Amino acid sequence: MNCLAANSCITLYNGRLYTCGTIAYIDTFSAFFGLDMYSTSKDSIDIYEEDSPSNILRFLARPVPFCRFCNVMGRHNVSYSISNRDISEWS
């Protein structure tokens, strides 16, 4: 309920729907910052395997295991500017 990305930043990547872009592209983020964060098949839904729109909507309406990495209550605003490529710009 407190996630600003939930159901507003749905991302389609390689045939899978993700509740937010962070999950879809975590491999790039993790590699850049040298982190051991990753997503699994439980963090997205395959649009080619799931043929029920209701099941897709139900999936997108709930938190996924990857949500454990986000501290939605501890988020802070970052001024819009050119990135310093520092992890503190992310929450």
Q: Return the domain boundaries, the chain.
A: 11-76
The Cα 9–Cα 31 span in angstroms is 22
pLDDT band of 74, cuts 50, 70, 90? confident
Cβ density class 36-58: b for 16+ within 10 Å, e for less: eeebeeebbbeeeeeeeeeebee
Q: What is the pTM of this model?
A: 0.81
Q: What is the pLDDT of residues 12-34, one digit of tens each?
A: 999 999 999 999 999 999 999 99
**Other beta carbons within 10 Å of 11:** 16
How confident is the model over 69-84, as a mean pLDDT? 82
Per-residue model confidence (pLDDT) at position 42: 97
Per-residue model confidence (pLDDT) at position 46: 97
Displacement of CA 69 from its chain's centroid (Å):
10
pLDDT at 89 exceeding the cut of 90: no
Contact status, residue 10 vs residue 19, Cβ threshold 8 Å? yes
pLDDT at 5 exceeding the cut of 80: no
Contact status, residue 37 vs residue 69, Cβ threshold 8 Å? yes
